[in-house]
A and B are shown apart, each in its own frame.
Chain A
Amino acid sequence: MKKTLQQILIWLAVVWCLAPFAWQIITSLKTNAEIAHIPTIYAPVHPTWGHYQELFSRKPFARYLWNSFLISSVSTVVCVLVSAMAAYSFSRLKVRGARGLQVGLISISFFPTIIFFFPLYELVRRTGMANNPIALIVPYITFNLPFATLILTAFFRTISLDIEEAAKVDGFNRWQILMKIIMPLSAPALATTAILIFIFCWNEFLLALTFMTRDSAKTVTAGVASLSGGSIYEIPWGAIAAAVVVSTLPLIGLVVVFQKRIIQGLTAGATKG
Chain B
Amino acid sequence: MRTPAHNKKMRLEDQAFGYLMLWPAAIFVLVVAVYPVLRILWLSFFTQNLGTGLHPQFSGTLNYVRLLKDGHYWQTMMTTTVFTFIAVSTELLLGLWFALLLNEKFHGRSFARTATLIPWALPTAVLALAWAWIFNDQSGVFNDLMMRLGLLSRPVAWLGSGPTAMFSVIFADVWKTTPFMMIILLAGLQNIPEDLYEAVQIDGARAWNSFRLITLPMLMPSIMLALLFRTIQSFGIFDLIFVMTGGGPGGATETVAIYNYRTFLRYLDFGYGAAMIVVTFLITSGICLLIYWPLSRTRGARALATERAVEKSEAM
A residues near B, CB below 8 A?
Answer: 6-7, 9-11, 13-14, 16-18, 20-21, 23-24, 27, 35-40, 82-83, 85-86, 88-89, 92-95, 97-98, 101, 104-105, 108, 110-122, 138-139, 141-143, 145, 149, 174-175, 178, 199, 202-203, 205-206, 209-210, 220-222, 224-225, 227-228, 237, 240-241, 243-244, 247-248, 251-252, 254-256, 259, 262-263, 266-267, 270-271, 273
B232 within 8 A of A: yes
B253 within 8 A of A: no
| B183 engages A267 (CB within 8 Å) | yes
Q: Name 6 extra pairs, CB < 8 A, besides A93-B15, A101-B29, A206-B238.
A: A11-B112, A38-B139, A98-B22, A111-B236, A203-B122, A267-B187
Chain B, interface SS category: helix
B290 within 8 A of A: no
CB-defined contacts of A241 to chain B, threshold 8 Å: 130, 133
| A86 engages B134 (CB within 8 Å) | no
CA distance A209 to B259 in the complex (A): 16
CB of A85 to closest CB in B, whole Å: 4
CA distance A221 to B87 in the complex (A): 23
| A to B CB contacts below 8 Å, 15 in the list | A38-B139, A40-B144, A89-B17, A93-B14, A101-B25, A101-B29, A121-B265, A141-B32, A145-B28, A178-B21, A205-B239, A221-B125, A222-B125, A228-B243, A267-B184
When C-beta atoms are compared, the residue in chain A nearest to B17 turns out to be A174
Q: Which of B127, B175, B187, B229 is close to A110, meaning CB atoms less than 8 Å apart?
A: B229
CA distance A98 to B33 in the complex (A): 17
Chain A, interface SS category: helix
B277 within 8 A of A: yes
Q: Which of B17, B104, B116, B187 is close to A175, meaning CB atoms less than 8 Å apart?
A: B17
When C-beta atoms are compared, the residue in chain A nearest to B116 turns out to be A17
CA distance A97 to B232 in the complex (A): 27
Given A10-B101, A95-B15, A138-B31, the answer on whether A263 and B117 have CB atoms closer than 8 Å is yes
B250 within 8 A of A: no
Count of interface residues, chain B, beta-carbon cutoff 8 Å: 89
Q: Which of B21, B101, B102, B261 is close to A86, meaning CB atoms less than 8 Å apart?
A: B21
CA distance A46 to B260 in the complex (A): 46
CA distance A121 to B270 in the complex (A): 11
When C-beta atoms are compared, the residue in chain A nearest to B276 turns out to be A114
